[in-house]
Structure 1
Amino acid sequence: MTDAIASPTTFLGGGTAAVAVIDCATNKYLHPVCDGWAFWTTIATISGMIFVSAILAGMLMGYMSLDKLNIMILTMEGSDVEKAQARRVLPLVDQSHRVLVSLLLINYVGLEALPIWLNRLVPEGTAIAISVTFVLFFGEILPSAVFTGNHQVAIAAHLAPLCRFVMLVTAPVSWPIAKALDHFMGDDNDIVRYRRNELKALIALQQTATTSPTAAASTRGMWGLPSWTHDEIATTWGSSPVSDHTTDLLDDEVTIINSALDMSTKCVRDIMTPFEKVYMLDQERRLDRALMAEILACGYSRIPVFAGHRHNIVGILLVKRLIVADPRAKKPLKDLVLRKPHVIPPTMLCYTMLRQFQLGRGHFALLAENAAYVQACWDAQLPIDPTKASFVGVITNEDVLEELIQETIQDESDTRDLTLGKIVSDSHRTQLREAGMNRALKQFRAMAARARNRLSIRRRRGSSLDNTSGTLSKKTSIESMTTRSATSSERTPLIDK
């Protein structure tokens, strides 16, 4: 064995060759010529360390940056592939401290050993520089970009078996450390829950730029209501349903969601109609044509009826039941069937009121400061003392729904007076109400005349049918008697006189 080995070098230009002499005895670093097997084994070990460090560093950042709430959402509402991936990742997210300790142990063992192995090839300063460079680019930057990208959950799911293997290998060390972290640092597996304002802000961030007809109506009709053409509505709302995979929310969706969150903090006092603005009737008033026209002109389906003073409410008049009432009888309202309304305190929450309406307790409720006293007076059929209990307002099912959707529900019974309430004077509203009552009275008289004509026609038809049926029955009986007599004469033998 020689102390020096000549290593010939042939240049591309040809002609001459330079011979490099390497002294293997004095060379303290591995060289492929002197120590071929050891040199290439060291290169392979260093490459493996860098690769393992990159994988473990990427797994560490990938698993630690996963949100448990998002993973649980994928397990419930994701596609079949996403659900399977989320189920494989969720147990590891639940053990975040143990995953952290296990991956860090293996990773930092490799990072600390990398300069030692590089020092077998190059000097110490060069080994540190190469180690820092490779760890920075191949062990931090590149893995972080890959493992926290768009396919983060998919990569984490595929590497879940490797993570479990690392946790198993390092269990004697990682398990006690993880338990100590859980004890002193607290469990890090809780779901991040949003406050109401944060949730509303999160929903607003997903709001689409498309404006709904309610928010973007720039043109309005003669009664102050939005006016759109068919093309405008089709353009705004679209001609097809929104896909489940769409991330944008429509303006109306955001409005309703925000209103649903706000309604839990509102009581019925905030959305009620004040009691002084409630249309009411005295029970002594007689139901004639003028009163029926007034009731039809007001446009309400339920009207409170009082006795003596407005706070002594005795019941609710259902307007739809007047279809069978005869205005010619002129009965007082107290003789009609009045329904006892639902009485509630004004501090009741809106959602509680909505549940009461859903239970079938009517669509109308009275708000009283002492609701129990009012109910006791009704049960005992006693008058209500306004000094002990006073009504503050009324609320309907429509009021709650309007608060939920943040829009006014206009139906065919709404009067123009309600729509024009903010743009016309009180005298003009009074004139409109009187004109509406006159129109309703004329329509009611016309309807009554048509009903009487139809009834008289039916009566005449019924009497004529009765006469015809009586004649036919008499004729049928005579024919049957004639037939029976003829039959009996045929069967009787002749008698000779």
Structure 2
Amino acid sequence: MEDPSLWLHVCISAVLVLLCGAFSGLTIALMTQDDIYLRVIELSAEPADQHNAKKVIALLKRGKHWILVALLLGNAITSEALPVVLDQFLDGGLAVLASTALVVIFSDVIPQSVCARHSLTVGAYMVPYVSIFMNMLAPIAWPIAKLLDALVGDHDPTGFTRPGLKALFSLHTVLGKPEDRLNSDEVKIIHGALGIIDKSATRIMTPIEDVYSLSADTVLDEYTIDRIRIQGYSRILVHAPNNRLDILGVFVTRKLVRYNPKLCKRVCDFDWSPIPTIHSRTNCLNVLKIFQEGTYHMVLVSQKERNLVLGIITREDILEELIGEDILDEFDCMHDRATLLARQLNPLPTPPTPTEKIIEKPSIIAISAPESEVINAWVRETSFSQQYGSVDYFNSAAQWKYIQNYLAQTRKRQQSENAGRRTYGTLS
């Protein structure tokens, strides 16, 4: 006659195997969850996954070490009790072998493989039971968890560095479903946006030697208008006579739409737009913020120590840096191909222009926000330095009217002197 306690021991052994598997699988399901990944799932996944992520995040906030200690204690208790129960109806050696086989197959291999594949779903489903078990073992597990927090530290969310994010998005061109993958253009844009803060203004500027500009006393005759039309720029820098590096402002070429070249006006007879000047160490992100205000289309790059203009940056330069590719228009194609070659082989002759000295600019003191250095500028502007920090000074052409007056007075004086010479020559 069979012993009635045999089936009781068999049922207890089965329960212990299941419990051991549950503790082993939950250790994998909960301890391998990444905080950043869970937050991403909580904000962007399907509603069911968002609900599961919220439940797991709430449990993990109670303390990962507390959960770990509770699950390991439960696994140790059940795995150690299993051979004792099996020994009631099996011989000692056979009980150890059977216990080892059951634990390895049904408590480690199968549960861990399943929980590793469906960790979020399994972990969220078992959250209430894990919470109850944690409270049951709190007198033992909680002090041990606090000791671990003090020794090895708490589990803080670990983010990605910019190079790590670039590598992560590059991998998404081949990972996942085809419809969810990123294409190469998207990755270029992401890489450009992530790297823009690490690049200084000098990395993307156009050197001032390669910039087409006009002198303030340039006569806008037919020859000059043709040169401006060939260049194809919507805005042209205006520099002081005899000093190409002394940039005064920006001339908008659309003002010449109804202009008659026979009038032979000078550049200084038109209104200009101011242009901000930034330090060469200013990063491209701050330059982008300047352009986002919508007031300026280009900025000057200079070295504050020598007050030397190095080059310019336009909105197109920033946009090209963001998308990681060059933006070509019809004028770029013209410059890059036959027209540029023709200009190099047969440069346009420079017409003779009167050389007139420009009055010295008044020195107005401005303070550089990041380094508190005193520099010379035309106009004191604090809004840029307060908002962007690395912008050192603001060079405005708002005060250029005195240039016009000076040139006009100089021309009148020269005409008077010439008239006096002719009169004196006639009398003699």
SS, match of residue 365 in structure 1:
strand
> In the TM superposition, what is the alpha-carbon distance from 1:433 to its structure 2 partner?
7.6
Q: Is contact 1:272-1:399 (8 Å) kept?
A: yes
> In the TM superposition, what is the alpha-carbon distance from 1:426 to its structure 2 partner?
6.9
> In the TM superposition, what is the alpha-carbon distance from 1:106 to its structure 2 partner?
1.9
- Tell me whether 1:138 sits opposite 2:106 in the alignment: yes
- Tell me whether 1:200 sits opposite 2:189 in the alignment: no
SS, match of residue 347 in structure 1:
coil
- Within 1, Cα distance between the matches of 2:174 and 2:185? 10
Q: In structure 2, do the counterparts of structure 1 residues 51 and 336 end up closer, same or farther at CA, with 3 Å as the change threshold?
A: same
Other-structure match for 2:295: 361
- Within 2, Cα distance between the matches of 1:416 and 1:114? 80
Q: In structure 2, do the counterparts of structure 1 residues 252 and 293 end up closer, same or farther at CA, with 3 Å as the change threshold?
A: same
Q: In structure 2, do the counterparts of structure 1 residues 417 and 165 end up closer, same or farther at CA, with 3 Å as the change threshold?
A: same
> In the TM superposition, what is the alpha-carbon distance from 1:203 to its structure 2 partner?
1.1
What is the one-letter code of the residue matched to 2:233?
Answer: Y
SS, match of residue 348 in structure 1:
coil
SS, match of residue 314 in structure 1:
strand
Aligned residue pair count: 346
- Within 2, Cα distance between the matches of 1:167 and 1:208? 41
Other-structure match for 1:477: none
> In the TM superposition, what is the alpha-carbon distance from 1:419 to its structure 2 partner?
2.1
Q: In structure 2, do the counterparts of structure 1 residues 300 and 244 end up closer, same or farther at CA, with 3 Å as the change threshold?
A: farther
- Within 2, Cα distance between the matches of 1:245 and 1:208? 8
SS, match of residue 144 in structure 2:
helix
Which stretches in structure 2 are left out of the alignment for 5+ residues? Answer: 349-428
Other-structure match for 2:187: 254
SS, match of residue 263 in structure 2:
coil
Other-structure match for 2:120: 153
Give 1:37-436 correspondences, 5 Å limit. Answer: 37-94=4-61, 95-149=63-117, 151-188=118-155, 190-208=156-174, 246-306=179-239, 307-370=241-304, 388-412=306-330, 414-420=331-337, 428-430=342-344
- Within 1, Cα distance between the matches of 2:248 and 2:109? 78
- Within 2, Cα distance between the matches of 1:90 and 1:187? 15
> In the TM superposition, what is the alpha-carbon distance from 1:64 to its structure 2 partner?
1.0
Q: Is contact 1:299-1:415 (8 Å) kept?
A: no
> In the TM superposition, what is the alpha-carbon distance from 1:162 to its structure 2 partner?
0.9
Which stretches in structure 1 are left out of the alignment for 5+ residues? Answer: 1-32, 210-242, 372-387, 435-497
> In the TM superposition, what is the alpha-carbon distance from 1:390 to its structure 2 partner?
2.0
> In the TM superposition, what is the alpha-carbon distance from 1:337 to its structure 2 partner?
0.9
SS, match of residue 159 in structure 2:
coil
SS, match of residue 312 in structure 1:
strand
- TM-score by length of structure 2 reads 0.77
Q: In structure 2, do the counterparts of structure 1 residues 269 and 250 end up closer, same or farther at CA, with 3 Å as the change threshold?
A: same
More contact order relative to length (CA 8 Å, sep ≥ 6): 2
Larger-Rg structure: 1
> In the TM superposition, what is the alpha-carbon distance from 1:166 to its structure 2 partner?
0.7
1:414-473 Cα offsets, whole Å, 9 max, x none, are: 1544222xxx79763346886xxxxxxxxxxxxxxxxxxxxxxxxxxxxxxxxxxxxxxx
1:333-374 Cα offsets, whole Å, 9 max, x none, are: 111112221111111110100101112331111112129xxx
Q: Is contact 1:298-1:415 (8 Å) kept?
A: no
> In the TM superposition, what is the alpha-carbon distance from 1:185 to its structure 2 partner?
1.4
SS, match of residue 311 in structure 1:
strand
SS, match of residue 244 in structure 2:
coil
- Within 2, Cα distance between the matches of 1:329 and 1:408? 39
- Within 1, Cα distance between the matches of 2:43 and 2:35? 13
What is the one-letter code of the residue matched to 1:322?
Answer: L
- Within 2, Cα distance between the matches of 1:169 and 1:328? 97
Q: In structure 2, do the counterparts of structure 1 residues 300 and 148 end up closer, same or farther at CA, with 3 Å as the change threshold?
A: same
Q: Is contact 2:28-2:119 (8 Å) kept?
A: no
What is the one-letter code of the residue matched to 1:248?
Answer: R
**RMSD, aligned CA:** 2.2
What is the one-letter code of the residue matched to 1:146?
Answer: V
What is the one-letter code of the residue matched to 2:139?
Answer: P
- Within 2, Cα distance between the matches of 1:86 and 1:104? 23
- Within 1, Cα distance between the matches of 2:74 and 2:341? 87
Other-structure match for 2:402: none
- Within 2, Cα distance between the matches of 1:165 and 1:284? 86
> In the TM superposition, what is the alpha-carbon distance from 1:263 to its structure 2 partner?
1.4
> In the TM superposition, what is the alpha-carbon distance from 1:324 to its structure 2 partner?
3.2
Q: In structure 2, do the counterparts of structure 1 residues 431 and 65 end up closer, same or farther at CA, with 3 Å as the change threshold?
A: same
SS, match of residue 245 in structure 2:
coil
What is the one-letter code of the residue matched to 1:114?
Answer: L
Q: In structure 2, do the counterparts of structure 1 residues 261 and 140 end up closer, same or farther at CA, with 3 Å as the change threshold?
A: same
Q: Is contact 1:342-1:366 (8 Å) kept?
A: yes
1:176-207 Cα offsets, whole Å, 9 max, x none, are: 1111111111002x112112222211111111
Aligned-pair identity (%): 30
Q: Is contact 1:208-1:251 (8 Å) kept?
A: no
> In the TM superposition, what is the alpha-carbon distance from 1:108 to its structure 2 partner?
1.1
Q: In structure 2, do the counterparts of structure 1 residues 426 and 72 end up closer, same or farther at CA, with 3 Å as the change threshold?
A: closer
- Within 1, Cα distance between the matches of 2:267 and 2:323? 36
Q: In structure 2, do the counterparts of structure 1 residues 196 and 303 end up closer, same or farther at CA, with 3 Å as the change threshold?
A: same
- Within 2, Cα distance between the matches of 1:427 and 1:192? 54
- Within 2, Cα distance between the matches of 1:390 and 1:57? 68
What is the one-letter code of the residue matched to 2:301?
Answer: L
